[in-house]
Every structure is written in C-alpha cells, then in structure tokens.
Amino acid sequence: MEKIKYERPVIQKMNTGLMNKFGTRTEYEPVTHIESVPVKSLIKDYGSPLYVISEKQIRRNFQNATRIFKTRYPKVQFAWSYKTNYMKAVCNIFHQEGSWAEVVSGYEYEKALGNGVPGNKIIFNGPVKTDDELIKAIRNNSLIHIDNNDELFSLIRLSEEHNLKPRVAIRVNMDTGIYPKWDRFGFNFENGQAWNAITRIINTRNLEFVGLHCHIGTFMLAPSAYAIAATKLCELAWNIKEKYNKVIQYIDLGGGFPSSNTLKGAYLPGSDTVPSIDQFADAITDVILGYSFKQEDLPLLILETGRALIDDAGFLLGTVIASKRLSDGRRATVLDFGINNLFTSFWYDHKVSPAQAFGDYTEEMVLYGPLCMNIDIVRESITMPLLERGNHLVVHKIGAYNLTQWMQFITLRPNVVLIDVENNTHIIRKAETLEYIEALEEVPEHLKKFGV
C-alpha cells in the first residue's frame, strides 16, 4: 500500500449556510474515464488542458429531444445553433441526425454552406446581414429571418433589383413574463410592430412569407414562458389566415432550453432544479395543438435548441499546477486552464471532479486559472479533496459556448478531441501554434529592427 501523504493541518473559521443537501462533501468518486477512455491517456496523448467531446452523448441528446417533441407533435424540425458550438465535426453530427443549420452571421452562414448544408435548410438569423450576404442567401433559397424594418426595406429593394423572391420570416419579440425583456431583436408583438411588418411583407409581391420566429432568451427556467411565446406566435398565424387567407408554413420557437449546469448563486445543483425537455415540449405543443389548425394548415414546429443538446457532451480536462495558501489561510489551487478556456465559468459553478483516487479529507478552496490576471477564477469556492501538483481534473458540461467564446489570451488554445461512438479518439481541432496566431500579423519595415 502506498504511504498516505501528510498534509499540514490548518484551523479554519466555520462558514454556516454554505452547505447544500449533500453536506460539505460533493465528490464521492473520482472521474477517471470519459466514456470509456481513461483521462490519464487522453492527457498523455493530447496534452493538458484538453477539450473532449462525446459523440455518443450528442447523439443521445438529439435523439432524446427529437423523440420528446415528435411524440407530442407531428411536424418537428431541429436546426443546429452554430454559435453554441461550431466545430465542424460537432455540426456534422447534428446534420447527420437530421438537423438543419441556424446561423446568426455571414461568417456562420459560410460555415454551414462549407459543411455541405443545402441552402434551403439554413436559417439565417441575427441582427446584421449585409446586402451581399442577403443576395447570397436569397439565391440559395435560405430562410431569412428579418430583424428590423431597415433589413426588410433592403430585402424589398434587393428582390426588385435582382428579380428574386426571398423566403422570409420575421423575428418577433414579446413579453413572456421574463425580465429584463429581450426586446432588442426582432419586431415587438405587444406594440403592433410585428403585425405591421407582417402586413407590409404580405403586400409585397416579391417576398414569400413563410414563417414566424422568436427566441425568447437563453438558459430559460420557465416552461410557461414558452407557452406564452407559442400563444403569441399562434395568435399571429391565426390572424394571418383570418385576415389574408394565408397559411404560415412554420413556427420557430428558437432555442434557450437550459442545460443541467448550476447557475452561480443557486442553492441546489442544476441537475435537481432545471426543468426537463419534456416540460418545455408539453408547454409548446399543448398551445399549438390547442389552436385547432386544420390538418393541412398545421405549422411545422422548428426548434433551434443549442445549449441543452451539447453542454453535457463537452468536458475540459486539466492539471493542477500548484497548491498554496492565501493570506487568510484559505487553500488555493492553481490549474493549467482558466477563464480563457472556460468562458462559461462567469455564470456557472461548473462541476469539477478529481480524475484520480483521493482521500477522505476535503477543504473549501479557490480554483485559479493560469492567467496573470486577478479575474481568472474557475470556482470562487468549492469543497474538494486536497489536490496537488500533477493531479488531473475533469470539468463537466462545458460543450456549449466555450468553443466559440473562448479567448486566445496569454496562452494558446489546446487540442479538441472527439470520442466517437466506438470510443476511438480523433483530434477535431489542433492545438494552436505561435505561427498560426501570428500568421495574420504584419510588422512595418521600420519596426523590424531594434537594439536593446
């Protein structure tokens, strides 16, 4: 048996009120494997820190969400939200499962085309679309979701100039009982903007009005907000049929379902408090079915779910660099990954697990990243077994937004590895190099030489 390590005892002030229902101890088992691949060998083969994505978990999430919606409503289509995670391999898993693409910029639009998504299965959202981007999207028969009147006027002008007939929908914002209101995107429902835009589009011969869209927020915890959103879109669809005898092809309720991460400051872990996809599906489909659209008029239900389908398929592995005491006696553990790799640590208390066997003793500690910046804190306070230099850690549920909002700051971004359904590993994005980062830089002639 290995000799048990001696740790110098410290006297600490008791903090009451910080416990959750698990008591002070939050970790019972080390997480030694991702799927069935050892963390140790992943780090040995691909370096530390390391992003790991589970293909199996993505497919499981997608198939589960599809089943939940399709058993409740006959016409359902998912569109993968590119900004949530636009690694090509990740997008293509969703496309293989049948997802369309949902993009919010010309850059993301090009990515979707590059991945091979047919133009007519790309939903072009977002507040900014240039004339060139619009023309391209119109020629590709993509679904253009209009954000504002200026964009609508551009579309009318471009469709006339080029003799094209764009397929358009409008984004609608509304009061869903969640505050602050998300009213900066799209046309407002309550003040009549949305209805005016609809009337204008329907009276423009060159535009084909195909759908109604909303995206009411992100990490939404209230299924009732989706019921309100569905009601308001159905209300518009119903009135369009009544007043203009026109049938809307689809209703797109956007994304925003939460993952089971724990928001900062939450008393209970997210896995206990976050509503299930079933509850959101019930809220949405009960409303649409309640409108008793004629069978042939029943709108296609589009969902642009991002976070909820990818978060728990992503892991960040890392290594302990040092362990030290702060001036007040608190334990601090310095890691080789920080907020540059884990943007979502700004709003989540990510679950962090040791990746090797540990002792019984735990202590409250701060987890710092490697950046020479005071804000680089992965967890402000976490009760963990004692960690020492060289120990490995696994951060859970990091698949959403971290691989798009990551920062190339102070350090280079590491490898991203996919574990496929047969547990083979593939690099899906190589670790950055100095040459790669500097490839776009130029140094003017007069600054090339200096003597110090």
Ligand X SMILES: *Cc1c(COP(=O)(O)O)cnc(C)c1O
Applying CB under 6 A, which residues contact ligand X? Answer: 81, 83-84, 102, 104, 125, 215, 218, 254-257, 304-307, 400
5 vs 184, beta carbon nearer ligand X: 184
Q: What share of the chain is helix, strand, coil (3-state, %, to 5)?
A: 35, 20, 45
Chain centroid to CA 205: how far?
37
Q: Which residues, at least 6 apart from 426, have a Cβ–Cβ distance to it below 8 Å?
A: 89, 417, 418, 420
Instruction: Identify any residues that bridge with 4 across adjacent strands, giving them in sequence order.
Output: none
Residue 131, sorted as left (phi over 0), alpha (psi -120 to 50) or beta, turns out to be alpha
Minimal distance, residue 332 CB to ligand X, in Å: 33
Single-letter code of the amino acid located at 262: T
Beta carbon of residue 260, minimum distance to ligand X (angstroms, whole number) = 14
Kindly tell me which of 223 and 254 has the beta carbon lying closer to ligand X. Answer: 254
What is the helix (H) or strand (E) element at residue 223, kind and residue range? helix 223-244
3-class SS letters over 234-261: HHHHHHHHHHHCCCCCEEECCCCCCCCC
Give me the least distance between CB of 396 and ligand X, in Å please.
Answer: 17
| In the complex, minimum distance from the CB of residue 128 to ligand X, in angstroms, rounded to a whole number | 12
Tell me the CA distances in angstroms from 54 to 309, 365, 380, one per residue in order. Answer: 12, 29, 28
Give me the least distance between CB of 337 and ligand X, in Å please. Answer: 22
Which one, 280 or 315, has the nearer CB to ligand X? 280
d(C-alpha 404, C-alpha 400), whole Å: 8
Least distance in angstroms from the C-beta of 259 to ligand X: 9
By C-beta, is 305 or 402 nearer to ligand X? 305
Closer residue to ligand X, CB minimum distance, 142 or 319: 142
304 with 215: CB under 8 angstroms? yes
Nearest CA to 227 out of 155, 279, 186, 273 is that of 279
Q: Which is nearer to ligand X, 81 or 262 (CB)?
A: 81
Distance CA(406)–CA(402), nearest Å, equals 5
Which one, 30 or 254, has the nearer CB to ligand X? 254
Nearest-approach distance from CB 310 to ligand X, in angstroms: 8
Nearest distance from C-beta of residue 320 to ligand X, angstroms: 31
CA geometry: angle 302, 304, 310, nearest 5 deg: 135
